Amino acid sequence: MSAPETAAPPRILVVEDDAPIRRFLRIALGSAGFATLEAERGRTGIELAATAAPDCVVLDLGLPDMDGKAVIAAIRAWSRVPILVLSVRDAEAEKIAALDAGADDYVTKPFATGELLARLRALMRGRLDRTREPAVQAIGPLTVNFASRTVTLDGREVKLTRKEYDVLALLARHPGRLIAHRQFLTTVWGAAHAEDTHYLRIAIGHIRDKLGDDAADPRFIITEPGVGYRLVEG
Amino acid sequence: MVGSIEERPAPEAFLEEARTEARGRGSPGRLKIFLGASPGVGKTYAMIEEARTRQRAGVDVVVALVETHGRAETAALLGSLEQMPRRPVAYRGQWLSELDLDALLARHPQLALIDELAHSNAPGSRHPKRWQDVLEVLEAGIDVTTTLNIQHIESLNDIVARITGVRVHETVPDQVLQRADDIELIDLPPEELIKRLKEGKVYVSQQIGQALENFFGKGNLTALRELALRTAASRVDAEMLAYMQANAVKGPWPTEERLLVCINEAPVAKSLVRAGKRMAERARIPWIVVTVLTPRHETLPAGARAATMEALRLAETLGAETVTLHAESDAAAEILRYARSRNASRLVIGRPRAGGGFWWKIAGLLREPVADRLLDAARDFEVTVVTAQAKPAAQAWHAGLDLRPAWRGYAAALAAIAAATLLAWPIGAWEAVPGGAISAIYLTAVLVVGARHGLGASLVATLLGSAAYNFFYTAPYYTLAMSHPEDVVSILVFLVGAVFTGTLAGRLKAQVESMRATQRRTETLYDFARKIASANNTDDVLWAAAFHIAATLDCRSLILMPNAEGGLDQVQGHPSIEELDARAEGAARWAFERNAPAGAGTATLPTSDWLFVPLATGDRPLGVIGVRFADPGRSLDPETRRLLLAVEDQVAVVVERARLAEELADARVSAEGERLRAALLNSVSHDLRTPLVTVIGAVSALAEDDGELAAADRRDLATTALDEARRLDRYVQNLLGMTRLGHGALRLRRAPVELREIVGRVRADLARTLAGHRVAVTIPRDMPMLDVDPVLIGQALTNVVENAAKYAPLGSTITIAAAASGGQARIEVSDEGPGIPEGERERVFDLFHRAAQGDARPAGTGLGLAIVRGLVEAHGGTASAEAGPNGRGAAIVLTLPLAAPSLSEEP
């Protein structure tokens, strides 16, 4: 749980109207080596995102002055800063709308601090490591070689179709990060198929079969019901 | 009444149809009739024998009522059958025994034997006639066998009377005979019957007894026997016909032809109806009995109108369709138009009154009788003219001319002629005036009398006038003798002129009166429709209906509706709700349960003063309408029925409308409940979870800590978690409090308590919440103590202050001020926040008020202020929202009761 070995600690903007939550996030994030910026309202959140250039934004969707999705859209207008959304359970439509608006991941309230930190790290890694994309990604016994477009499990090659490989590769490039249905579909199948989630479901089913993965007890691919998938972290 | 009969079915037909449908439920019992030509042929014996056979076959047979008339053979035969006790009825000092209908219905056998279908029940029984009892038994699903003699059949009543010279008054409608599933003819050759009679084996009723020799003559018996055989045979014919029709056997069916019987108030009407029945039956075609109401009808005496209605009712009993037409003047044309519209090619009419009398002849000069005009115009019809058999002397009243209300008209005639004479006297003395001027004065008098008092009075005035003219103005003067021939001529001319003038004036009066009556009816109907349209609840509608019925029918009216216990309550009445006797109540109940008219003028409980008709549109009555006519002779005539039908429809529609509105309101209430539940769910999911986010987050950070957290941070996390856990506890407390308030389960533990103490407790509870605000407390030192439950008011005040902290910006001041005035404490909590818009100030106390704003709001259950109000009101105080001091921010004001001074002084 040590902070990255950089000169300045990464700064995280917390946009949340509930004071006790801000308070505990400040303590928890501070202990994990992050610096926190706090905003109580959506408007101040957008201003801070623009002026303070945080490394990541933690955003509560239920804000008194404006809609959380509007905040995402406003930030996305000029910035690609990773945005982690805090939302209540059972609001899949809300989550999808937030992801569609440009959020990168979400955590359901209430959440354990460890989970939040893990998500934040996954998001930050993608951002921090963007410059040097690895040629090979290893998750336990699973290896994805982006250069040769091959996948091996326990050293044996797994035969995948092109679409299946593309799906798995997309997951493997961002281990631990949520990839939304729409993102899969537009990246792998093209924008025309953005709504055809059954393509994705079938492809994921085949990949799981070939990797010997079980949806009920996942080793590699975790389902976020109604939202998307994420690959476990190595 | 200008002709739309072709397109529009008669409302009565609808009514009848609906009622038949309603009645058709369940499976009614089978009726078997043992038919005989005369007493003594052995019907009862045959009936019992058959019952024994069926009993041996395992049928549950009960002898409900059988007259043995002391015959041993019959009594012996009865021995093995179960006999029901009879119902004793006291009547004029005698004890009569009647069929115990209720006991029979309760016993509910498969088959009941009920002798002598034509029997009349003792007065005060439920039905006047036994055949009505039998119909009720059948309706209850019990089979009935019964006996009947041919002379008791309604349509044969006239013929039998003509054959035997004895008219029996106990008759059974032909419809009952048609209703029978089986008719068995018990035939005995006349010789044998006469032999049995001589042996004393035949019981003879009193009526026939008086004419014994006559009745049991061989010729009569043969004729009666033939009649009985023919009746049975025609019955077989009808069955064959029904079978052929049901099985679509092709045959030369007559087209849908009909027989039309035209009646009016003349005494011959009933004979016309009976003749029509026979003709229709023989021709096997449907028949219609029609009467035409003209303006003249309005001027008829009540007796004449009642006679028409009686004939119409008889026709109904005999199975005819009855129709009342309206015509302005030409009744014959109206009848023919209707006949054509119904494809009735045969007409039955009565012979016009030949030699009717002096008045009739005079009137006849002006008006051709309807019958004559019918005969003239009905060239393409087959017309049968029926003459009355006997002249029933008792019913002799002057049908055509209304000479009543006599004495007032006659007095007016006398006065008018006297006045004319007085006026003419000085003029007559003046030599220059011609005699014509004098007769003109008398004519004027006749005209005035005719216009004001009708035809009869004008004719009297005519006679008086001519006598006076003769007496005073023709030589020799002051005698009724006349010496000059020209005087005779002028008297005759005066007479003719006066008759015409008087008649015209009289008819004008009749027409004006008829128009007035029509206008009155139209006005009340319009009035009714208007009232109904504007009535917005059932009560108003029922009142309007009761008023309308009473006003239009000149009666007292009632509307009864079923209550929760299934009884009938008088819900409206005009002029008022009435005391109903047991008979009227029974009739009302019967009308409601059977969905058929009952009471005065009907077949059920006719001795009741009230007539009840069901208030129904479909098969289920909503209630009953009761009417009690001012004129006791009046009953359910077509006019009344039409009116009641119109009222029924309107009322039923509105009652239905009211019922729908109630259902809608129920639905709205349940939607409201649904909304509240959704708000509660939303509140629980969002607001209760908010503190949990901090609790779980902070505690999980502590749990996952590997020693990297600083000691201060650890403590900080722990206290944060603790604070939030307390906040959660307050929410839960509020939820519980709301539930208790809602169920009235809140118990107050009042005690004198200082407001300062409560405020102190609140501030301690909310220490962290209030950390970002300044709190100013201004409570006078001499503030009396409150008489409240300190815990509950503490909770209320906590909610108010927490609410203020939630909305007021950080760093602003929250003021808690209090003052005592008028025995009450006024506590005001104000902030410097955005304030509450004026329109919202009441609604902030609604449950889940803020739930409507969705997720984007400060945390809180939306219960806070609702609970504040609930708790404060439980103490007898009030809670309201106002603008803050100087119009800035919001202020929540609570008033609470102060403790009595003596209590306050105690330590």
Q: Which of B604, B634, B663 is the last residue of a domain?
A: B663
* Residue of B689, B700, B850 to mutate, interface with A, max A Cβ within 10 Å: B700
Assess whether B778 and B644 both reside in one domain: no
In angstroms, what is the C-alpha Rg of chain B? 45
Label residue B320 exposed, middle or buried (CB < 10 Å: 0-12, 13-18, 19+): buried
User: Residue with structure tokens 């529009």?
Assistant: B8
* Residue of A15, A16, A23, A69 to mutate, interface with B, max B Cβ within 10 Å: A23
Of A19, A20, A31, the CB nearest to B709: A31
Question: Are residues A110 and B857, on separate chains, in Cβ contact within 8 Å?
Answer: no
Is the Cα torsion angle B712, B715, B721, B722 positive or negative in sign?
negative
Question: Are residues A28 and B701, on separate chains, in Cβ contact within 8 Å?
Answer: yes
Residue B587 near residue B599, CB atoms below 8 Å: yes
In a domain, B719, yes or no: no
| CATH number, residue B646 | 3.30.450.40
Q: So where are chain A's domains?
A: 11-124, 136-231
In angstroms, what is the C-alpha Rg of chain A? 18
Of B697, B727, B856, the CB nearest to A64: B856
Q: Kindly state the tokens that stand for B614.
A: 């069901």
Is the Cα torsion angle B744, B750, B755, B761 positive or negative in sign?
negative
Distances (CA, A) of B346 to B214, B288, B384, B422, B524: 37, 10, 8, 58, 39
Average pLDDT over residues A139-148: 89
Burial B471-503 (b: 16+ CB within 10 A, else e): eebbeeeeeeebeeeebeebbeebbebbbebbb
- pLDDT score, position B393: 39
- pLDDT score, position B403: 44
| CA B372/CA B354 separation, integer angstroms | 11
Contacts of B716 in chain A (CB under 8 A): 23, 27
* Residue of chain B whose alpha carbon sits nearest to that of A2: B708
Question: Are residues A116 and B697, on separate chains, in Cβ contact within 8 Å?
Answer: yes
- Spans of chain B below 50 pLDDT: 1-25, 249-255, 355-367, 390-404, 851-856, 903-907
Residue B176 near residue B135, CB atoms below 8 Å: yes
Of B698, B704, B857, the CB nearest to A64: B857
Question: Are residues B717 and A27, on separate chains, in Cβ contact within 8 Å?
Answer: yes
Assess whether B496 and B547 both reside in one domain: no
- pLDDT score, position B144: 92
In a domain, B702, yes or no: no
Question: Are residues A20 and B727, on separate chains, in Cβ contact within 8 Å?
Answer: yes
Residue A78 near residue A35, CB atoms below 8 Å: no
- pLDDT score, position B337: 82
- pLDDT score, position B398: 39
| Architecture label for domain A136-231 | Orthogonal Bundle (1.10)
**Beta carbons within 10 angstroms of residue B879's beta carbon:** 23
The DSSP-derived string for B147-168 is: EEEGGGBGGGHHHHHHHHS---
Assess whether B767 and B880 both reside in one domain: yes
Of A19, A27, A110, the CB nearest to B701: A27
Question: Are residues B694 and A21, on separate chains, in Cβ contact within 8 Å?
Answer: yes
- Identify which has the larger pLDDT, A219 or B360: A219
Assess whether B627 and B750 both reside in one domain: no
* Residue of chain A whose alpha carbon sits nearest to that of B806: A18
**Beta carbons within 10 angstroms of residue B405's beta carbon:** 13
- pLDDT score, position B734: 74
Pairing of strands A178-180, A228-231: antiparallel
Contacts of B692 in chain A (CB under 8 A): 109-110
Tally C-beta pairs within 8 A across A and B. 95
pLDDT tens profile B558-582: 888 888 777 888 888 878 877 777 7
In a domain, B525, yes or no: no
Q: Is the whole model's pTM more than 0.95, yes or no? A: no
Question: Are residues A31 and B686, on separate chains, in Cβ contact within 8 Å?
Answer: no
Assess whether B232 and B96 both reside in one domain: yes
Laid out side by side, the sheet with A105-109 consists of: A35-39, A11-15, A56-60, A83-88, A105-109
In a domain, B624, yes or no: yes
In a domain, B392, yes or no: yes
Q: Kindly state the tokens that stand for B827.
A: 């506590």
- pLDDT score, position B571: 81
Assess whether B272 and B233 both reside in one domain: no
Per DSSP, helices labelled H in B430-484 are 435-473
Per DSSP, helices labelled H in B535-620 are 538-553, 582-594
* Residue of chain A whose alpha carbon sits nearest to that of B718: A24
Question: Are residues B720 and A27, on separate chains, in Cβ contact within 8 Å?
Answer: yes
Assess whether B464 and B369 both reside in one domain: no
- pLDDT score, position A7: 57
Minimum distance, in Å, between the CA of residue A230 and any CA atom of chain B: 23
Q: Kindly state the tokens that stand for A167.
A: 């799906």
Assess whether B500 and B641 both reside in one domain: no
| CATH number, residue B305 | 3.40.50.620
| CA A16/CA A13 separation, integer angstroms | 10
- pLDDT score, position B361: 45
In a domain, B689, yes or no: no
In a domain, B812, yes or no: yes
Q: How many domains does chain B have?
A: 5
- pLDDT score, position B246: 54
Assess whether B478 and B571 both reside in one domain: no
Pairing of strands A178-180, A142-145: unpaired
In a domain, B904, yes or no: no
Contacts of A63 in chain B (CB under 8 A): 856
Reported as type and span, the H/E element at residue B515 is helix B485-534
Question: Are residues A27 and B698, on separate chains, in Cβ contact within 8 Å?
Answer: yes
| CATH number, residue B90 | 3.40.50.300
Contacts of A25 in chain B (CB under 8 A): 697
Q: Kindly state the tokens that stand for A234.
A: 């190595």
Distances (CA, A) of A99 to A176, A182, B686, B820, B854: 16, 9, 21, 57, 20
Contacts of B685 in chain A (CB under 8 A): 88-90
Output the 3-class SS for B604-671. Answer: CCCCCCCEEEEECCCCCCCEEEEEEECCCCCCCCHHHHHHHHHHHHHHHHHHHHHHHHHHHHHHHHHH
Structural domain span for residue B117: 12-246
| CATH number, residue B748 | 3.30.565.10
Q: Kindly state the tokens that stand for A226.
A: 């109604």
Assess whether B193 and B299 both reside in one domain: no
* Residue of chain B whose alpha carbon sits nearest to that of A27: B713
What residues of A are in the B interface, CB distance below 8 Å?
1, 17-21, 23-25, 27-28, 30-31, 61-67, 86, 88-90, 109-114, 116
| CA B174/CA B156 separation, integer angstroms | 9
User: Residue with structure tokens 């004890």?
Assistant: B95
What residues of B are in the A interface, CB distance below 8 Å?
685-686, 689-698, 700-701, 704-706, 708-710, 713, 716-717, 720-721, 723-724, 727, 768, 772, 854-859
- pLDDT score, position B182: 84
Q: Kindly state the tokens that stand for B178.
A: 């048609």
What is the assigned CATH class of domain A11-124? alpha beta
Residue B46 near residue B197, CB atoms below 8 Å: no
- pLDDT score, position A208: 92
The C-alpha angle B188, B190, B192, rounded to 5 degrees, equals 70
Contacts of A27 in chain B (CB under 8 A): 698, 701, 709, 713, 716-717, 720
Output the 3-class SS for chain A. Answer: CCCCCCCCCCEEEEECCCHHHHHHHHHHHHHCCCEEEEECCHHHHHHHHHHHCCCEEEEECECCCCEHHHHHHHHHCCCCCCEEEEEECCCHHHHHHHHHHCCCEEEEECCCHHHHHHHHHHHHHHHHCCCCCCCEEEECCEEEECCCCEEEECCEEECCCHHHHHHHHHHHHCCCCEEEHHHHHHHHHCHHHCCCHHHHHHHHHHHHHHHCCCCCCCCCEEEECCCEEEECCC
Minimum distance, in Å, between the CA of residue B706 and any CA atom of chain A: 9
Question: Which residues have C-beta within 8 Å of that of residue A109, sequence separation ≥ 6?
Answer: A86, A87, A88, A89, B689, B690, B692, B693
Residue B327 near residue B294, CB atoms below 8 Å: yes
Q: Which of B628, B663, B698 is the last residue of a domain?
A: B663
* Residue of chain A whose alpha carbon sits nearest to that of B688: A110
